[in-house]
């Protein structure tokens, strides 16, 4: 693995995605950076998939969370917790080498990808995948992390 995980970079990427999606104020996300064994354990426990992956997202609201849009009741001015993201740093390192770009670009991409899933973006259909990819690149561009 090339160096320690860059938590500050991942935080900047998540903040940039929140801002780009109009969620900078009053919204929060938990991000856990782990290794392949850690993400595999989460994947197995919460999704029934006994394999490592690059990033997982667990939204707390909306159709992606429960199949029906049922909002939580919050006190006035309470922050909105969008959900959790789990990112495998070794997977980011390996994929950066595979795709021929920096680890920073790959880690930021995975963080943005995970955040967009929390907001309801999907890539199951080709048109949805293209829209999500365009949004990811638009968010990464101001960070200087384009392909």
- Kindly indicate the confidence band of residue 1, based on its pLDDT and cuts at 50, 70 and 90: very low
**Residues 6+ positions from 35 with CB-CB distance below 8 Å:** 88, 89, 90
- Decide if 20 contacts 115 (C-beta within 8 A): no
DSSP state of 4: S
pLDDT in tens, 60-118: 876 555 555 556 666 777 788 899 999 999 999 999 999 999 999 999 999 999 999 99
**Residues 6+ positions from 56 with CB-CB distance below 8 Å:** 39, 42, 43, 46, 47, 85, 86, 114
Whether the per-residue pLDDT at 30 is higher than 60: the answer is yes
User: Does this model's pTM top 0.75?
Assistant: yes
* Class for the domain spanning 10-64+87-143: alpha beta
- Decide if 103 contacts 51 (C-beta within 8 A): no
Burial class (CB in 10 A: 0-12, 13-18, 19+), 12: middle
Which of the two residues, 71 and 46, has the higher pLDDT score?
46
Whether the per-residue pLDDT at 135 is higher than 80: the answer is yes
Whether the per-residue pLDDT at 3 is higher than 70: the answer is no
């Amino acid at each position: 693995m090339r160096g320690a995980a860059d938590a500050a970079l991942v935080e900047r990427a998540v903040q940039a995605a929140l801002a780009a999606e109009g969620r900078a104020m009053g919204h929060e996300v938990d991000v856990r950076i782990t290794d392949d064994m850690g993400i595999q354990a989460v994947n197995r426990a919460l999704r029934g998939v006994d394999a490592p992956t690059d990033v997982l997202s667990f939204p707390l609201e909306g159709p992606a969370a429960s199949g029906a849009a049922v909002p939580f009741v919050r006190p006035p001015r309470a922050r909105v917790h969008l959900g959790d993201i789990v990112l495998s740093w070794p997977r980011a390192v390996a994929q950066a080498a595979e795709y021929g770009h920096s680890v920073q670009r790959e880690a930021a991409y995975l963080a943005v990808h995970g955040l967009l899933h929390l907001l309801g973006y999907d890539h199951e259909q080709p048109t949805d995948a293209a829209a999500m990819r365009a949004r990811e690149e638009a968010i990464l561009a101001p960070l200087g992390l384009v392909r």
